[in-house]
Amino acid sequence: MADQARIQDSKEKFQVAFDQIVSQEQAAKAVYEQEESMGLTDGVAFDAWAAQNQYPPYMHAKHQYQGARAAYEMALQHGDPEGYQAWTEKVKKEAWDNMGPNGPNFNVLVGPN
């Protein structure tokens, strides 16, 4: 029962972090696209641009997302092995569906639901 409570709590926190990173990514990409249209990005990809420019709200949300995702994965792994297996399959599918220039994108944002 404690495992289920831990999983549910981490899932709720993960959902909040996921919603926040999606929102902040949209805002950051709007700024990036504006700067790109003015020729200010020097052809740098979005992720590198965000890191170089220290876009604070996006970078904070990204770190929150990564931490919440790791906590959720750990709770699943220890409390619901079948759920963890389903989660890893979902992540793999999303990574393969969002191919990057070097193969599957395992940094793609995936929410708990």
Task: Give the structural domain span for 77.
Answer: 2-97
Residue 89 lies in a domain: yes
Residue 105 lies in a domain: no
Non-local CB neighbours of 112 within 8 Å, separated by 6+ positions: 11, 14, 15, 18, 72
Residue 34 lies in a domain: yes
Count of the separate structural domains present in the chain = 1
Residue 48 lies in a domain: yes
Residue 57 lies in a domain: yes
pLDDT digits (tens, 9 = 90+) for 62-96: 999 999 999 999 999 999 999 999 999 999 999 99
Residue 110 lies in a domain: no
Distance between alpha carbon 24 and the CA centroid of its chain, in Å? 11
pLDDT digits (tens, 9 = 90+) for 2-50: 899 999 999 999 999 999 999 999 999 999 999 999 999 988 989 889 8
